[in-house]
């Protein structure tokens, strides 16, 4: 580890100060009116480094996703507000070798692949709260519009820190409790197929209702509707509540129509919390701006919005570099786009990263970009990269680092054959990488890594790829090394790998970095995966004393959310659903037992 520069230490002190401001009692049952910690799909699509953040400290307040992560990564381990003297780091000898499933709940639908639940933590400066902490799942389940008593397609649980079938954990309950359960379908065929986003106080949930064309043979057009729900406790897994449309207050839902000709199957909303503005795409290639999300009534912005990127090509989830005012979006045609939100009439800038072999069969870019807001770089993944790699004169799957402002390629890493073997691989999609904690602390350190799933160099079987970073000179951008290391994850060419989620826990063994991902089929090459041939979730760690853990999840996991770093029983958790079962799962992070 390199010595911390003076301004790095100053930045860390600022972050620690922000982390220990006077807090409210987490166990007191009061209205959710203060700022907690929302964790959703967008949390790890903004990255940063401590030295660069010290040069731009205003970003800590401007972008709450940085503030939340900085509090987690650089707080003093086991500070008193995290549980008192009775909560101690877990020694390596006490760590169990496998992921421990605390509970599972059968739902009426599922969370689609690379789509995430969302978790709200009421008070990061106190022990986890059984009453006010919750996780919410948006489900790809259609119900009869406006009908109460149906099965829900938006479900929230509390009493999360519990066990089944016997009551246990910090909440001492037999599994979670249903906090709210809603039927949010307002138009025939409407359901949730992208990730929800939470307000900072946890009282509101923003999401898109997506309506496919000709649902049920009815001849209805496709459409997409942006909703903001102020939830109220109520409903059950068998009898959903229906929100009141158009009002304000608990149990109410406001709605604005986006496209009346296209649904939204691949773009989750991005919320700019400071501006109270959302950005989201629809399947016809348009990007929409919604003004007023959590603080005021929602309104769809007029011309030049919506902005068409590539007509008819699906767009992914947008990610905003708030420092530069640049919205970064990838699409299925394999192009990375940049929209200047301060000058939206200016035509978007584009950078061709990959190709779409056959329409929407083998998408060029699927996962949202990851944006380093402090160093000005953007990372994207393509299964069919527009780059050649010697000695063979052919394209390949790629991880690309680009300059955010200039939209120029900085580094390209080969991550296998991908979809470039000559015939389309219809089910092959490559998803987002994850950065090690060391990248946030010191990108020049040897432990500063980016990891993701690619394929074999000769077929589509899943492999893990890891790349390090270098910095050419003082004050310059950390640049990804073009050559990385690789490890085979599965021998099956039908197996697919999910995106990666990283979580640094400072309260275990003096700090451990965890990485979570999944496979859709054969897991037998993985430690603990013997006999698992129908999908699994995997936990790796930076600590050699903590074994890799593998747990069966039928069809592999959806997007994975990790919630906190408490040492309370069952309190540091992983949330997901199975892709082949309509079931939600909570696992305890590997080693925290």
**Residue 24, in any domain of the structure:** no
Torsion sign, CA atoms 14, 435, 477, 3: positive
Given a contact cutoff of 8 angstroms between Cβ atoms, the answer to whether 433 and 450 are in contact is yes
- Residue 423 pLDDT: 60
Residue 507 lies in a domain: no
Structure token pair of residue 123? 């008070």
* pLDDT at residue number 503: 93
pLDDT attached to residue 317: 98
CA–CA dist 340, 68 (Å, integer)? 26
580 falls within a domain: no
Q: Helix (H, G, I), strand (E, B), or coil: what is residue 470?
A: strand
Structural domain includes residue 564: no
* Domain annotation covers residue 257: yes
pLDDT at 358: 52
Residue 173 near residue 227, CB atoms below 8 Å = no
pLDDT at 17: 38
Is 231 a member of any domain?
yes
Give the residue ranges of the chain where pLDDT is below 50. Answer: 1-32, 76-97, 359-360, 391-393, 591-593
Domain annotation covers residue 172: yes
∠ Cα 289 400 325 (to 5°): 30
Structure-block tokens of residue 5: 């520069």
Assess contact for 531 and 542: CB atoms under 8 A: no
Dist CA 269 CA 589 (whole Å): 28
| Listed residue (355, 504, 488, 372) closest to 437, CA to CA | 504
- Asked whether residue 144 is assigned to any structural domain, the reply reads yes
**Structure confidence at residue 94 (pLDDT):** 31
d(CA 125, CA 471): 35
Can you give the residue range of the structural domain that contains 248? Answer: 107-308
Question: What span, in angstroms and rounded, lies between the C-alpha atoms of 322 and 319?
Answer: 9
Sign of the dihedral defined by the CA atoms of residues 305, 310, 316, 321, in that order: negative
Q: Which long-range contacts (CB under 8 A, 24 or more apart) does 532-536 make?
A: 534/580, 535/578, 535/579, 535/580
Q: Determine the pLDDT at residue 326.
A: 98
What's the pLDDT score for residue 592? Answer: 31
Q: Please report the pLDDT score of residue 276 as a whole number.
A: 97
pLDDT, tens digit, 9 for 90 and up, residues 491-525: 999 999 999 999 998 888 888 999 999 999 999 99
Q: Other C-beta atoms within 10 Å of 27: how many?
A: 13
Q: How many domains does the chain have?
A: 1
The pLDDT assigned to 590 comes to 54
């Amino acid at each position: 580890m390199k010595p911390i520069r003076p301004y790095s230490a100053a930045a860390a002190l600022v972050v620690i100060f922000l982390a220990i401001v006077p807090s409210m009692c987490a166990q007191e049952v009061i209205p959710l009116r203060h700022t907690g910690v929302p964790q959703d799909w967008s949390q790890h699509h903004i990255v940063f480094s401590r030295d660069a953040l010290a040069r731009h400290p205003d970003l800590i307040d401007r972008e709450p996703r940085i503030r939340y992560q900085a509090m987690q990564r650089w707080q003093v381990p086991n500070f008193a507000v995290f549980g008192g003297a009775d909560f101690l780091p877990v020694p390596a000898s006490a760590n169990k070798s496998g992921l421990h499933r605390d509970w599972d709940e059968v739902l009426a639908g599922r969370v689609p692949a690379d789509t995430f639940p969302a978790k709200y933590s009421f008070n990061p400066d106190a022990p986890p709260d059984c009453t006010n902490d919750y996780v919410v799942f948006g489900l790809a389940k259609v119900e009869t519009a406006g009908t109460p008593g149906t099965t829900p397609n938006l479900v929230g649980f509390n009493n999360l820190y519990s066990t089944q079938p016997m009551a246990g954990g910090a909440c001492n309950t037999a599994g979670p409790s249903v906090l709210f359960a809603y039927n949010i379908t307002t138009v025939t065929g409407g359901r949730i197929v992208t990730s929800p986003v939470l307000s900072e106080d946890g009282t509101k949930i923003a999401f898109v209702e997506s309506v496919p064309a000709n649902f049920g043979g009815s001849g209805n057009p496709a459409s997409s509707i942006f909703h903001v729900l102020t939830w109220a406790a109520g409903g059950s897994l068998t009898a959903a509540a229906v929100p009141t449309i158009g009002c304000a207050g608990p149990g109410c839902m406001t709605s604005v129509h986006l496209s009346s000709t296209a649904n939204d199957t691949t773009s989750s909303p991005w919320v700019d919390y400071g501006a109270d503005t959302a950005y989201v795409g629809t399947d016809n290639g348009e990007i929409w701006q919604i003004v007023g999300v959590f603080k005021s009534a929602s309104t769809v912005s007029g011309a030049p919005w919506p902005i068409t990127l590539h007509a008819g090509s699906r767009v992914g989830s947008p990610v905003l570099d708030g420092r530069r005012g640049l919205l970064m979006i990838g699409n299925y045609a394999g192009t990375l786009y940049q929209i200047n939100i301060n000058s939206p009439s200016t035509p978007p800038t584009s950078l061709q990263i990959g190709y779409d072999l056959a329409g929407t069969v083998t998408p060029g870019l699927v996962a949202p970009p990851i944006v380093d807001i402090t160093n000005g770089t953007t990372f994207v993944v393509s299964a069919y990269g527009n780059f050649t790699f010697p000695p063979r004169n052919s394209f390949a799957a790629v991880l690309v680092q680009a300059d955010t402002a200039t939209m120029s390629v900085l580094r390209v890493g080969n991550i296998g054959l991908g979809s470039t073997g000559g015939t389309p691989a219809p089910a092959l999609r490559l998803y987002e990488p994850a950065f090690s904690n060391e990248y946030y602390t010191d990108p020049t350190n040897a432990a500063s890594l980016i990891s993701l799933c690619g394929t074999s160099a000769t077929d589509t079987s899943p492999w893990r790829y890891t790349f390090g970073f270098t910095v050419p000179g003082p004050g310059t951008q950390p640049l990804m090394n073009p050559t990385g290391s690789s490890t085979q994850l599965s021998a099956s060419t039908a197996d697919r790998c999910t995106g990666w989620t990283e979580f640094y826990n400072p309260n275990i063994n003096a700090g451990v970095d965890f990485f979570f991902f999944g496979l859709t089929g054969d897991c037998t090459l993985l430690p603990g995966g013997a006999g698992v041939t129908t999908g699994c979730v995997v936990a790796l760690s930076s600590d050699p004393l903590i074994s890799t853990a593998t747990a069966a999840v039928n069809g592999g996991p959806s997007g994975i959310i990790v919630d906190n770093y408490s040492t309370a029983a069952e309190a540091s958790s992983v949330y997901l659903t199975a892709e082949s079962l309509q079931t939600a799962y909570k696992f305890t992070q590997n080693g925290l037992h």
